[in-house]
């Protein structure tokens, strides 16, 4: 599930040798030919991606259904991969819903969770059989009105009655379980001040139950505690709260109306090294211990993993175009991406960290053959905060070296900024050609183009 350091060096060397990256590159794959050299790239380990999906599938029972969080990595190749492995897609905007449909994802395998759905958004989702999680009571009334106007319910029947009837509305309620914040407040959404969901106060608990009594097509509950920085105890506490509420609703309506429990995603990622922790097995075990009701098969359980599936499967590399003040106490390397691609690490380095490695112009690790030195790494953008690494102890960098940033598979391209009109980088994928008993350094790799580098014309069109 993690791109290994030994693979990074060998893949980088192959990219350089085949002139797919570097000052002398004029890469051509298929009919592609760009005059400007490729000086940076994002590189996905396709074997690690496959392993991540297999790990997810094998860690949970078959009645757990997984919906990949599109916002974490909207790249079409990855979404297609998720669909290939049987996942659905969780969407945070109408455009994400339309992207999912465009890629062939059936509407019934799409979850729509935006906190800002318009009437148009709601009607579109209903027309395409998308499961909508209403974010608040006003939205729920909008959904009810749309259902009546669109005459979607000839008979008042719960969504999953008789195993589910295609064409009936698929509606849930998003609940703020109020279990508190994790270590990263801005990524925690189960607090009293959160903009997401219906806070589970005593007053709202009664209104939620009344809503299920009023609308027999309501059949799902959704809760997402947060993402990076939320530990397993917080995630399981949120799931436990959701189960308790579902049982109260079913008791009130005297039927098994709550058929789907969506416990969200939020599994944190270890950015400190290659180790994957916590794992999906760790999370499943914690859920079994703390929320055994999820494992009876009585209800469908949905997840919305994003970052944990894809973050550690990719790395970024860039030529160090300059090393300024090289002989001073604090040299600064200038590379070809900064806060345009790494928004969070640049603006909040105290919260968002990536390991950074230095490779020679031939693509070889410099860890053992260069002196260590305190240095900065900055991006190309025109403001002083465009800094990726501040006073970090690294092998001494030279102009023309390659800077590698690890664990960039999620929340990197999806956060890309247009500031200074820089071009979004080319994206490659790679696989090992041989998989057994290789002598170190002899492994062969196959490089695949996943996404073209952005063109100046595409940037012009954005601003037009």
Specify burial of residue 296 (Cβ count, 10 A radius: 0-12, 13-18, 19+). exposed
Strand order, beta sheet including 372-378:
322-324, 332-334, 372-378, 387-395
On the question of pLDDT at 163 being above 50, the answer is no
Please, where are the H alpha helices in 276-412? Answer: 280-290, 307-310, 343-347
**Band of the pLDDT at 338, cuts 50, 70, 90?**
very high
Q: Determine the average pLDDT of the residues in 97-109.
A: 97
For each of the domains in the chain, give its residue range(s) and CATH number, in order of start: 5-46+313-463 (2.40.37.10), 114-303 (3.20.20.10)
Q: Determine the average pLDDT of the residues in 252-273.
A: 94
CA dist., res. 181 & res. 189, Å (int)? 7
CA dist., res. 90 & res. 99, Å (int)? 11
- Beta-bridge mates of residue 111: 90, 131
User: For the whole model, what pTM was predicted?
Assistant: 0.93
Which tens digit of pLDDT belongs to each residue from 290-336?
A: 999 999 999 999 999 999 999 999 999 999 999 998 788 999 999 99
**What pLDDT is recorded for position 170?**
85
Torsion angle of C-alpha atoms 128, 133, 134, 136, degrees rounded to 10: -160
Percent of the chain exceeding pLDDT 90 equals: 83
CA dist., res. 276 & res. 257, Å (int)? 38
Candidates 90, 14, 10, 78; CA nearest to 50 is 78
Candidates 138, 81, 194; CA nearest to 448 is 81
**Which contacts of 155-161 are long-range, i.e. CB under 8 A and separated by 24 or more positions?**
156/216, 156/217, 157/216, 157/217, 158/216, 158/217, 158/218, 158/219, 158/255, 158/257, 158/259, 159/217, 159/218, 159/219, 159/220, 159/259, 160/219, 160/259, 160/260, 160/300
């Amino acid at each position: 599930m993690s791109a290994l350091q030994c693979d990074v060096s060998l893949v980088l060397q192959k990219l350089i040798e085949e002139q797919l990256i570097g000052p002398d590159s004029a890469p051509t794959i298929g009919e592609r030919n760009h005059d400007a050299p490729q000086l940076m790239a994002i590189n996905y380990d396709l074997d690690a991606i496959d392993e991540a999906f297999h790990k997810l599938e094998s860690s949970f029972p078959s009645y757990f259904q997984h919906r990949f969080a599109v916002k974490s990595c909207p790249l079409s190749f990855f979404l297609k991969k998720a669909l290939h492995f049987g996942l659905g897609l969780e969407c945070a905007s109408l455009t994400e819903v339309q992207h999912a449909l465009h890629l062939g994802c059936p509407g019934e395998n799409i979850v729509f969770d935006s906190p800002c759905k318009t009437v148009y958004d709601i009607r579109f989702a209903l027309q395409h059989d998308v499961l909508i999680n209403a974010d608040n009571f006003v939205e729920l009334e909008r959904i009810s009105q749309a259902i009546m106007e669109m005459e979607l319910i000839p008979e008042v029947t719960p969504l999953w009655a008789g195993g589910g009837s295609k064409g009936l509305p698929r509606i849930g309620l998003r609940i703020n379980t109020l279990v508190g914040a994790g270590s990263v407040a801005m990524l925690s959404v189960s607090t009293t001040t959160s903009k997401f969901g219906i806070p589970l106060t005593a007053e709202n608990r009664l209104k939620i139950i009344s809503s299920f009594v009023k609308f027999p097509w309501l059949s799902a509950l959704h809760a997402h505690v947060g993402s990076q920085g939320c530990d397993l105890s917080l995630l399981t506490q949120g799931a436990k709260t959701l189960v308790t509420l579902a049982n109260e609703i079913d008791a009130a309506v005297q039927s098994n109306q709550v058929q789907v429990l969506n416990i969200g995603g939020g599994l944190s990622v270890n950015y400190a090294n290659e180790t994957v922790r916590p794992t999906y097995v760790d999370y499943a075990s914690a859920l079994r211990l703390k929320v055994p009701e999820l494992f009876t098969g009585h209800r469908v359980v949905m997840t919305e993993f994003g970052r944990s599936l894809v973050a550690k499967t990719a790395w970024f590399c860039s030529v160090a175009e300059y090393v300024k003040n090289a002989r001073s106490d604090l040299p600064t390397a200038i590379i070809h991406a900064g806060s345009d691609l790494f928004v969070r690490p640049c603006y909040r380095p105290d919260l968002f960290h990536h390991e950074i490695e230095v490779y020679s112009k031939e693509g070889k690790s410099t860890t053992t053959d260069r002196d260590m030195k305190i240095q900065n790494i900055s991006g190309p953008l025109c403001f002083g905060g465009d800094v990726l690494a501040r006073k970090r102890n690294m092998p001494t960098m030279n102009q023309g070296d390659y800077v590698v940033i690890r664990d960039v598979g999620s929340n990197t391209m999806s956060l890309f900024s247009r500031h200074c009109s820089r071009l979004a980088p080319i994206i490659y994928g790679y696989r090992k050609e041989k998989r057994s008993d290789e002598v170190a350094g002899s492994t062969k790799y196959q490089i695949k183009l996943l996404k073209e580098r952005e063109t100046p014309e595409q940037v012009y069109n954005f601003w037009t």
